[in-house]
Amino acid sequence: MRMWFVCRFCCPAAQSNSNPEWEAKVLEYFKGQLKEKESHSWVPSLNDVPLHYLKPNSLVKFRCLVQDMFDPEFYMGVYETVDPSTKFKPRSGSVLRFKFTNTVTAERQTFYCVPIPGESPWAKEISFLSAARVVPSTSYVPSRQKRSYEEDDDMDTQPQKQREPHTEPHGNGDSKRQETEAPSSQTTAPSDCSSHLDLNFPLPGERGPACLVKVYEGLDSFKLNDTLEIYGILSVNPVLTVLGEEKDPSLLLLNPTESMETPEEQRAHDPPASLVPRLHMLYARPLQHNNPLLPSAPTEDQSAFVSSFLVEMASVRAELLAYLTHVLLGDGLAAEYLLLHLISNVYTRRDVLPLGKFTLNLSGCPLNSYTERLYQIVQQLVPCSYRLSMSLHTMNSMRLVPKKDYVANRLVSGALQLARNTSLFLDETQLEQGQLDSSGVRNITALGNLISWQKVDYDFSYHQMEFPCNINVLVTSEGRSLLPSDCQVPLQPQVTPPNMEEYLTTIHMAQFTSQINKFRVYLSLARTLDYSISDEVTKAVEDDFVDMRKDDPQSVTAEDLHRMLVVARLLSLSLGQTTLSRDGWMRAKHIDMLRRSRTEQQKSLNGNEP
Amino acid sequence: MSSPTSTPGRRKRNRDDIPATPKSTRRRGQDSSNGDLPAMPTSPGTDIASPAVHDTSLFSSPRRSVLPSEVDMSSPLMYGTPSSRVEARQRPDLGSIRKAPQVDLHSEPPSADGAVASEQALGQKLVIWGTDVNVGTCKEKFQRFLQRFIDPASNEDENAGLDLNEPLYMQKLEEISVVGEPVLNVNCSHVQSFDADLYRQLISYPQEVIPTFDMAVNELFFERFPDSILEHQIQVRPYNALKTRNMRSLNPEDIDQMITISGMVIRTSQLIPEMQEAFFQCQVCAFFTRVEVDRGRIAEPAVCRNCNTIHSLALIHNRSAFSDKQMIKVQESPDDMPAGQTPHTTIVYAHNDLVDKVQPGDRINITGIYRAVPMRENPRQSNVKSVYKTHIDVIHFRKTDEKRLHGLDEDSDQKLFTEERVQILKELASKPDVYDRLSSALAPSIYEHEDIKKGILLQLFGGTRKDFSQTGRGNFRAEVNILLCGDPGTSKSQLLQYVFNLVPRGQYTSGKGSSAVGLTAYVMKDPETKQLVLQTGALVLSDNGICCIDEFDKMSDSTRSVLHEVMEQQTLSIAKAGIICQLNARTSVLAAANPVESQWNPKKTTIENIQLPHTLLSRFDLIFLMLDPQDEAYDRRLAHHLVALYYQSEEQIEEEFLDMAVLKDYIAYARTYINPRLNEEASQALIEAYVDMRKIGSGRGMVSAYPRQLESLIRLAEAHAKVRFSDKVETIDVEEAKRLHREALKQSATDPRTGFVDISILTTGMSATARKRKEEVARALKKMIQSKGKTPAMKYQQLFDDLRGQSEAAITKDMFEEALRALADEDYLTVTGKTVRLL
């Protein structure tokens, strides 16, 4: 409750409500406080701290994806209670008797937010534990059970990381501080018991709290699928929960206003507050990325960080390339392409054409869980990822495209509702022969649209609505993929380890955490760099293209030029260069030529087969 | 009020249940500070006779309801003239009949806040509480409006058949007296143009003003038609309030005001009977009493007034009065949503005869009163939450797509353009190079193909719609159809995607994924009502828009055959599951096809390359080839274009090209407002062009143009005139149409053997030279057989070898078989298995 807060330490003037600008002042104050360097880490995170350890009505933060936007609500912004001396302002539907004389109706909107889908375990570990490290204190922090993960042995997870939720710079700490001495055997996920309630996570098997965020201002600046870090007041008031089963149907006749909502709708919009807490937004920060190793805000220290890292860039790249080469069984070219793919990003759209996307099709992958291991390695490198095993069953049964459920009046999520820059790993090696049913065909079409146009058409039953997205799609397949792709690289293993599992695990183990962290920073950073092409190089590229066409017009088409320009861009960025040089262009041409000759070779090989 | 003799079981339309409505901060004048609200003191004097069981301090709305016994018939808000014999039907859509006290502003105001309403109170004594509405003046003004309003420029279809120079609404009243449907729809924009102040009152205080209107209409009506018998008194239904058009822009200021929004119905509930008046009977003495439902609550009388027995009264359900009510959920229409957000939904309540007027999927304009109702914490308690539920009480529905089934729908689609926008568009239109500008603004990311872009541009504008149904010909197609064929990877799909995103009613399908039913329409059983409903497919959905069909060649034959009707007659006939109907599908088709052999074979004709039936091909006005031209200058320009795409910043691009939004508006404006007609010179030029086209062919003994080509030319010329915002088709339009048509023909109808343009490739599927050749082979074969003398039967293979040996040109087996077939058709021979018999 906002007012409660305000009364405590901001402006006593609010008591008399004489100052109408007090709201703005409060926001100003919080924004100012949160700007301070380490203040972010004082605020407990809803992602991490179990709900029952958080004090209701305290300031919390929540890193999330806007999964659905509900209809706007009107509420009483200001009203008088019977006793004029205790004028106060509930934001969360407190029960009051009041005289209906002096109210102001205001508008707000509710967003249904879920934790960022597919967030890699390492990103979670680091962002929440590093936050805890900042301010040592005596108060309790629940020690987390480490997520079972084979590769993260090196993760530094000391259990006694502690924090203090310093939300009150003006003292009076005990009302704010989290509960102390809680049993440490608890696991983290507060939604363990929520299996009966569909929390509508985009990806199956996700855990974590979902949250109903009440937004009071700047409604138009938020979009569906935005990733945000929200600072707000937590509310778990059980009064909010209106469970359908408590309703006596006979009452509906008498009070038809209550019957506008179906039980499904009520369940979706007013889930129990203990499972889906309410968060009253004070301030939200859009996240460019969710890599905890990088400074998140575009501030001065970020640019300092970038420039310091740029020096290292080339060497990190070489190490990463070597690492990926090992992982891809000694295939250097495929490693090079995988690296480029990992830093690709849709940086702009020209009318319908997304620029900068680079979907990679890695064909000729060995069977038997190689792809699975490969995904685990990718997952270790990128902050957000999801592996979609394209087996016939999943394609026919899984819901990829979000669909509006008009009965419950909510957007039922699908696996393609992902945050920007998520790595989507499509495992086509799992596909067997058989028949796709109509939903399977729709799913494949949706994947095709995603790859070619970087958009997902959400199903609104009476019409479809197009939502642009920015997802890196990596397709692993045996032969050429049935999905379109920007670039296909047949894998040519140089080594054939007798035991694949062991081989990959050894490679992974050989990397130190610091090393891996460097890779992670590198990949996230390279993506955000600016890029330009000078006039001189433009000319050279044009000449080159004309020359190539002269020799054999069939060999190089406009599409090839598109791809080579993307490759050149990514190649330059991967080296930390922000302009295209002649060399860069030649290199891009060279590796593209190597790749093409390899594809052709593969084709002729296949052609010779009976 | 209702007559007290309501029979059991009869549903009496009665007041609605709205506990109370919160007052929003009304923006009135410059008051914007929070505490400054219209006066809402607790209701004076009049109160309920029954013991107030419920908490009266919960809401003290001035619109306190009253029991029938206390009805003050002199109140201005009571319906009807006292003399009228017709029952007044109550209006749940306006909330309850409320007896608002009138305030004399010049005497003691009941509270200091009474001055709020005093803005224009000078000279008028009484206003309705909380408003500035003076009943007498308001009534008078509205009657004057009804008697005098004339709209000579009216083009609404509802006014069809009315004399535009007579007072419009008086004619409508006459209609009511004849038809007997006691509803008068009033267009708010008419009210506004007649009396802006009345309009303002109507919008701000619909609850008070509409009953006043009702009263005014009924007085007027029964004065004029004293003998007419109506079911109930006339109700005024205003529509087209200009206040709000978009669901997203609804805000607290609109509460309790009249609004009009557009949207799509997504759900309708079942009928909800809502109790309006409870009937209680004493178990002891059979004395009965009626209690009006007050905000969802019945104050059960504890004591029988007749025999003084305590707790003896029982509710008799079938003598209580109910009204119909339906909940409808409306979703924002996809057109007015900002990108990247989900559509909003609003709950709408329909009452009485508006129940079941709309079905899910309908696109409608709703006029109604926006309400906000506090939610109760527990239905048994009077505590409320601080969050409101909002809904709209409907006064008027108007379906926007209803008229699509029969005829014109120009005005429903009408997009509103602001003056400045129109100015910008006109300025753009006056530029001499507007045609080139627009075509280059189309899909700037796709390089060159200027003529194709121009063709698509003309398709976007379309020709003029002409109606020849009087002469039995039906509608002439005004839509331009275009087929793009060419090598894979020449950004055909991208072009289609662009067009699909540009036009408001575009549909995008892929030939591979669409079936005939998906394109046309199918009959489905509604899971809820078990009713058969017609679901429309892509072609019908893109009525008045563009249907983009990718991979046209991969479409199955049965699917394609549906297109025949659509592409020429522009209708779609369905006979399925007992539903027989003809739907309009006035859609332009933009299709893309790949050549059969994956690469375009320049040695073959278009038909051979894409393997489409010529009957379908001839329905395309323009067929373009998108080939990869292989020359250096082109390559250089292409490379430059592509590289630029990758390094230019957004601003640079914007400078270079027109904004997509401007282009959209330009097209929408031209499509709605410009209807060019041919002038004399243009017709002459068209005739000449057609004659010329025919002449070209006749020199070589073939027909090179058909009437269909002439029609195409006319359409293209009209579209080009639309691009210029010109009301006349002039010679320059015809010139451009000719040029474009020729270009397209040159690309697609060139006979690869001779290099001449030959329209018969498209119309008959075979070039004239090919036909000639076929005849020659047949003749040679016949000659050869004749020369062999009297042999009744020959070996097939031997004959073939002989012919090959004899002929100078190479003869394929296909040609030989064709020749045999031709001779068989002449009844000269028959082919049975491997032998050929002469007849």
C-alpha A305/C-alpha B270 separation (Å) is 62
Whether the pLDDT of residue B806 is over 80: the answer is no
User: B320 — contact with chain A (CB < 8 Å)?
Assistant: no
Write out pLDDT tens, residues B572-630.
776 666 667 676 777 788 888 877 776 777 677 666 777 777 777 777 878 777 776 66
Q: State the average pLDDT for chain B.
A: 69
Residue A42 C-alpha, separation from nearest chain B C-alpha, in angstroms: 32
Residue A69: beta bridge partners? A111
Whether the pLDDT of residue A425 is over 60: the answer is yes
- Which residue among A76, A257, A453 places its CB closest to the CB of B497? A453
C-alpha B347/C-alpha A257 separation (Å) is 11
ipTM: 0.70
Can you give the pLDDT at residue A236?
78
| Among the ranges given (A240-249, A287-296, A340-349, B182-191), the one the predictor scored with the smallest mean pLDDT | A240-249
Give the number of beta-carbon pairs within 8 Å between A and B: 216
Q: Are strands B321-331 and B829-832 parallel, antiparallel or unpaired?
A: unpaired
Residue B672 C-alpha, separation from nearest chain A C-alpha, in angstroms: 24
Coil vs helix vs strand at B84: coil
| Among the ranges given (A83-87, B620-624, B684-688, B711-715), the one the predictor scored with the smallest mean pLDDT | A83-87
Cβ proximity of B46 and B182 under 8 Å? no
Distance set, CA B503 to CA B389, B432, B521, B593, B671 (Å): 36, 25, 22, 21, 11
Coil vs helix vs strand at B550: strand
Whether the pLDDT of residue A3 is over 70: the answer is no
Give which of A8, A304, A402 is closest to A174, Cα–Cα. A8
- Which residue among A68, A75, A468 places its CB closest to the CB of B387? A75
Question: Which structure tokens are listed for A447?
Answer: 């994947």
Give which of A185, A235, A190, A309 is closest to A60, Cα–Cα. A235
Question: Locate tokens 């146009």: which residue?
Answer: A453
- Rounded mean pLDDT, B275-290: 82
Residue A62 C-alpha, separation from nearest chain B C-alpha, in angstroms: 21
C-alpha B591/C-alpha B509 separation (Å) is 10
| Among the ranges given (A58-72, A379-393, B321-335), the one the predictor scored with the smallest mean pLDDT | B321-335
- What residues of chain B lie within 8 A of the CB of A462, using their CB? 264, 266, 331, 360-361
Can you give the pLDDT at residue B576?
63
Cβ proximity of A344 and A563 under 8 Å? no
Give which of A154, A147, A125 is closest to A293, Cα–Cα. A125
Whether the pLDDT of residue B78 is over 50: the answer is no
Cβ proximity of B486 and B744 under 8 Å? no
| Among the ranges given (A52-56, B686-690, B814-818), the one the predictor scored with the smallest mean pLDDT | B814-818
Task: Report the 10 Å Cβ neighbour count for A220.
Answer: 10
The runs of H, that is alpha helices, within A467-555 are 500-509, 513-528, 535-551
Distance set, CA A563 to CA A551, A596, B28 (Å): 19, 12, 60
Name the strand (E) or helix (H) holding A24. helix A22-35
User: B35 — contact with chain A (CB < 8 Å)?
Assistant: yes
Distance set, CA A461 to CA A410, A416, A479, A492, B651 (Å): 12, 17, 36, 45, 37
The runs of H, that is alpha helices, within B91-205 are 135-148, 168-179, 188-194, 196-204
- Which residue among B252, B275, B343 places its CB closest to the CB of A460? B343
Coil vs helix vs strand at A235: strand
Buried b (16+ CB within 10 A) or exposed e, A528-545: bbebebeeebbebbbebb
- Rounded mean pLDDT, B118-141: 66
Write out pLDDT tens, residues A449-487.
888 888 888 888 777 788 888 898 999 888 888 888 888
Give which of A217, A19, A216 is closest to B35, Cα–Cα. A19
Nearest CA in chain A to B293: A254
Residue B136 C-alpha, separation from nearest chain A C-alpha, in angstroms: 29
DSSP result, A326-367: HHTTT-HHHHHHHHHHHT----EEETTEEES---EEEES--S
C-alpha A533/C-alpha A527 separation (Å) is 17
Show the 3-state SS of B628-649: CCCCHHHHHHHHHHHHHHHHCC
Long-range interactions of B767-772: CB distance < 8 A, separation 24+: B767/B605, B768/B697, B768/B700, B768/B701, B768/B702
Residue A280: beta bridge partners? A214, A233
Question: Which structure tokens are listed for B544?
Answer: 């008045």
- Residue B660 burial (C-beta neighbours within 10 Å; 0-12, 13-18, 19+): middle
Amino acid identity, residue B397?
F
Q: Chain B neighbours among A 59-78 (CB < 8 Å)? A: 68-69, 71-78
Percent share of chain A, pLDDT over 90:
1
* Greatest CA separation for chain A: 91
Task: Report the 10 Å Cβ neighbour count for B482.
Answer: 22
The runs of H, that is alpha helices, within B611-759 are 614-617, 632-647, 650-656, 660-673, 680-699, 707-723, 731-748
Cβ proximity of B125 and B106 under 8 Å? yes
pLDDT band (50, 70, 90) for residue A606 = low
C-alpha B594/C-alpha B606 separation (Å) is 11
- What residues of chain A lie within 8 A of the CB of B632, using their CB? 546, 549-550
Amino acid identity, residue B450?
E
* Contact check, Cβ <8 Å, B647/A532: yes
C-alpha B147/C-alpha B150 separation (Å) is 9
Write out pLDDT tens, residues B155-173.
555 555 666 677 788 888 8
User: B165 — contact with chain A (CB < 8 Å)?
Assistant: no
Nearest CA in chain A to B638: A558
Whether the pLDDT of residue A416 is over 70: the answer is yes
In chain A, the N- to C-terminal Cα span, in Å, equals 73
Give which of B157, B162, B189, B192 is closest to B176, Cα–Cα. B162
- What residues of chain A lie within 8 A of the CB of B488, using their CB? none
Whether the pLDDT of residue B401 is over 50: the answer is yes
What length does chain B have? Answer: 839
Question: Which structure tokens are listed for B402?
Answer: 């209803």
Question: Which structure tokens are listed for A33?
Answer: 């406080």
- Rounded mean pLDDT, B434-461: 77
Whether the pLDDT of residue B749 is over 70: the answer is no
- What residues of chain A lie within 8 A of the CB of B331, using their CB? 460, 462
| Among the ranges given (B16-20, B263-267, B276-280, B336-340), the one the predictor scored with the smallest mean pLDDT | B16-20
Percent share of chain B, pLDDT over 70:
62
Whether the pLDDT of residue B106 is over 80: the answer is no
Give which of A453, A529, A564 is closest to B643, Cα–Cα. A564
Nearest CA in chain A to B327: A260
* Contact check, Cβ <8 Å, A538/B264: no
pLDDT band (50, 70, 90) for residue A519 = confident
Whether the pLDDT of residue B408 is over 70: the answer is no
- What residues of chain A lie within 8 A of the CB of B443, using their CB? 351-352
The answer to pTM > 0.80 is: no
Whether the pLDDT of residue B271 is over 70: the answer is yes
Cβ proximity of B522 and B535 under 8 Å? yes
Q: Which of A532-546, B143-157, B565-579, B580-594 has the highest mean pLDDT?
A: A532-546
Question: Locate tokens 């861009």: which residue?
Answer: A569
Can you give the pLDDT at residue B761?
59
- Which residue among B250, B387, B501 places its CB closest to the CB of A352? B501
pLDDT band (50, 70, 90) for residue B186 = confident
Question: Which structure tokens are listed for A515?
Answer: 């090393």
Position with higher pLDDT, A308 vs B405: A308
* Contact check, Cβ <8 Å, A93/B444: no
Whether the pLDDT of residue B558 is over 80: the answer is no
Position with higher pLDDT, B492 vs A194: B492
Distance set, CA B307 to CA A201, B201, B750 (Å): 65, 49, 103
| Among the ranges given (A325-329, A594-598, B150-154), the one the predictor scored with the smallest mean pLDDT | B150-154
Rounded to the nearest 5°, which phi and psi values hold at B716? -65, -40
pLDDT band (50, 70, 90) for residue A510 = confident
Whether the pLDDT of residue B219 is over 80: the answer is yes
Can you give the pLDDT at residue A297?
58
In chain B, the N- to C-terminal Cα span, in Å, equals 97
Q: Are strands A471-476 and B363-376 parallel, antiparallel or unpaired?
A: unpaired
C-alpha A527/C-alpha A574 separation (Å) is 8
pLDDT band (50, 70, 90) for residue B42 = very low
C-alpha B365/C-alpha B362 separation (Å) is 10
pLDDT band (50, 70, 90) for residue B501 = confident
